[in-house]
Amino acid sequence: MLNIDEPAYLQPKLPLFRLGFRPFFLFASLFSLLSLGIWGGFLAGNALLPNSINPLWWHGHEMIFGFVCAVVAGFLLTAVQNWTGQPGLKGLPLAGLFIVWLLPRLLFILPLDIPFVITMIIDLLFLPLTAVLLSISVIKVRQWRNFVFIPILSLLTLFNGLSYYGLISDQLHWTHNGLYAAIILIAVIVALLGGRVIPFFTERAAQWQKPMPIPLLEFLSFASLLALIASLFLTQLLLTRSLAGIAGCVLLLRWSRWGWHASWSVPLLWSLHLSYLCIPIGLGLIATGLPLSVGMHAITVGGLGGMILAMMSRVSLGHTGRPLKPARPMALAFGLILFAALLRVLAGLPSAWFIELMLAAIICWMLAFGCFCYCYAPMLCRVRVDGRPV
């Protein structure tokens, strides 16, 4: 891991804003607890949102564009320092970007007389600003391999805009398409980063030799996911299910070459492997003809939620100068998030236990991310233990 050591006097006084992972990992996790608590209250019959907010839209939008995109931004703003050798975003600029993310989250849930369009505009600024900040470092050193994240963040902004358009125009199919397309596009990010780090981490921590990537398999992984995104806007359900099946098989074959069988003794490894596995499983559920929301929630809760929990745990340890050994409660947290995915999938099937399964899944998620906040909040808010600046 590359560290960019600047003089101590150039570092922000507040450790929370010394690098992107710190505020975004912590507050995204806290926000997921708050938002799922509100969602659980709604399911239990308690309206905890202003009357002007559609609860169904708010839940889907905020878990994707509020929670997941904040973690993605925190990870990329941290990783770009390692990739390019350029100092990462910190201090007031990082605090400013964080406020741009935080304001819409608060404006949605607080009973303030703020026009909805103002909240929408602020929210739509977050991902483009993140893209610009990333591009500055990438372009400076002409590291075009990592420029791919700039158009991905731009597409996520477009899908966010579609979700707003569907809500404002009362055309819910645009809302669904925007959210589902964003989910698959974030799965592209996970597939891209997962292909880099999961085999690498497994080789370093286990007795396993990483094989050479197969270029055709790598190409098919991303091409099939991008084709799946396009199919969502063609309203051809059979095509969508067929492409989901193809993408699921390709991603499963790719994952099978990453040494999963050597990961079981290391929580930071098996959590990554099993969470990634939820993505092809979710795609497979879509392909079988189940409602799209069933497969999408397997991807979001198990795939994205699990990968986020595992990666935040590893990145936070490494970038605060600690050994890569998470606290004991985190192994339980990794298991809980996978169990939450199972419960959420079961809730999407015909059952008389829908509310109970939904609430159980929410509780498992909240316990998992509550463990993260309990274990990691102190280290995210303090200076590195090894004395290095960032």
- pLDDT, greater one: 42 or 1: 42
Q: Residue 19 above 70 pLDDT?
A: yes
Please compute the mean of the pLDDT values over residues 275-290 and round it to a whole number: 96
Q: Residue 7 above 60 pLDDT?
A: no
Determine which of 9-13, 45-49, 181-185 has the lowest per-residue pLDDT on average: 9-13
Alpha-carbon gap, residue 25 to 372, rounded angstroms: 10
Please tell me the predicted confidence (pLDDT) of residue 3.
Answer: 46
Please compute the mean of the pLDDT values over residues 289-312 and round it to a whole number: 96
Please compute the mean of the pLDDT values over residues 27-32 and round it to a whole number: 98
Collect all residues with Cβ–Cβ distance below 8 Å to 92 and sequence separation of at least 6: 12, 17
**Residue keyed to tokens 């909040």:** 377
In the chain, the number of structural domains is 1
User: Sorting pLDDT into bands at 50, 70 and 90, what band is 143?
Assistant: confident
Please tell me the predicted confidence (pLDDT) of residue 88.
Answer: 85
Share of the chain above pLDDT 70, in %: 97
Long-range (24+ apart) CB contacts under 8 A made by 95-100 are 95/17, 95/23, 97/73, 97/126, 97/129, 97/130, 97/133, 98/17, 98/23, 98/24, 98/27, 100/125, 100/126, 100/129
Which residue in 306, 304, 365 sits closest to 180, CA to CA?
304
Question: pLDDT of 210-226, one tens digit each?
Answer: 889 899 999 999 999 99
Is 301 part of any domain?
yes
> Over the range 13-27, which residues count as b (16 or more CB within 10 Å of their CB) and which as e?
eebbbbbbbbbbbbb
Give me 321's structure tokens: 């100068």
**Please, what is the Cα angle at 147 between 19 and 213, to 5 degrees?**
100
User: Sorting pLDDT into bands at 50, 70 and 90, what band is 8?
Assistant: low
Per-range mean pLDDT, top range of 1-5, 73-77, 78-82, 261-265: 73-77
Which residue in 361, 317, 320 sits closest to 339, CA to CA?
361
Is 3 part of any domain?
no
User: Sorting pLDDT into bands at 50, 70 and 90, what band is 4?
Assistant: low
Q: Residue 360 above 90 pLDDT?
A: yes
Is 385 part of any domain?
no
Question: pLDDT of 164-176, one tens digit each?
Answer: 999 999 998 999 9
Please compute the mean of the pLDDT values over residues 327-349 and round it to a whole number: 96
Mean pLDDT across the chain, nearest whole number? 93
Is 220 part of any domain?
yes
Question: Domain of 173: which CATH number?
Answer: 1.20.210.10
Please tell me the predicted confidence (pLDDT) of residue 111.
Answer: 86
Whether the model pTM is above 0.85 = yes
Per-position DSSP letters for 341-369, written without gaps between them: HHHHHHHTSS-TTHHHHHHHHHHHHHHHH
Please tell me the predicted confidence (pLDDT) of residue 2.
Answer: 46
Is 390 part of any domain?
no
Question: pLDDT of 104-116, one tens digit each?
Answer: 999 999 988 899 9
Is 253 part of any domain?
yes
Is 6 part of any domain?
no
Please tell me the predicted confidence (pLDDT) of residue 146.
Answer: 84
User: Sorting pLDDT into bands at 50, 70 and 90, what band is 298?
Assistant: very high
Which value, in Å, is the radius of gyration of the alpha carbons in the chain? Answer: 20
User: Sorting pLDDT into bands at 50, 70 and 90, what band is 249?
Assistant: very high
Polymer length of the chain:
390
Alpha-carbon gap, residue 379 to 301, rounded angstroms: 25
Please tell me the predicted confidence (pLDDT) of residue 10.
Answer: 59
Range of the domain at 348: 15-380
Question: pLDDT of 51-62, one tens digit each?
Answer: 889 999 999 999
Alpha-carbon gap, residue 160 to 142, rounded angstroms: 29
Is 224 part of any domain?
yes
Q: Residue 1 above 50 pLDDT?
A: no
Is there a contact between 98 and 49 (Cβ–Cβ < 8 Å)? no
Q: Residue 125 above 50 pLDDT?
A: yes
Alpha helices in the chain (DSSP H): 21-43, 55-61, 69-84, 91-109, 116-140, 149-168, 172-205, 215-232, 237-255, 267-287, 292-297, 306-318, 328-347, 354-380
CA distances from 322 to 11, 104, 201, 310, 385 (A): 20, 34, 16, 16, 7
Please give the backbone phi and psi of residue 384, each rounded to the nearest 5 degrees, phi first.
Answer: -60, 145
Eight-state DSSP code of residue 51: T
Give me 157's structure tokens: 């902004």
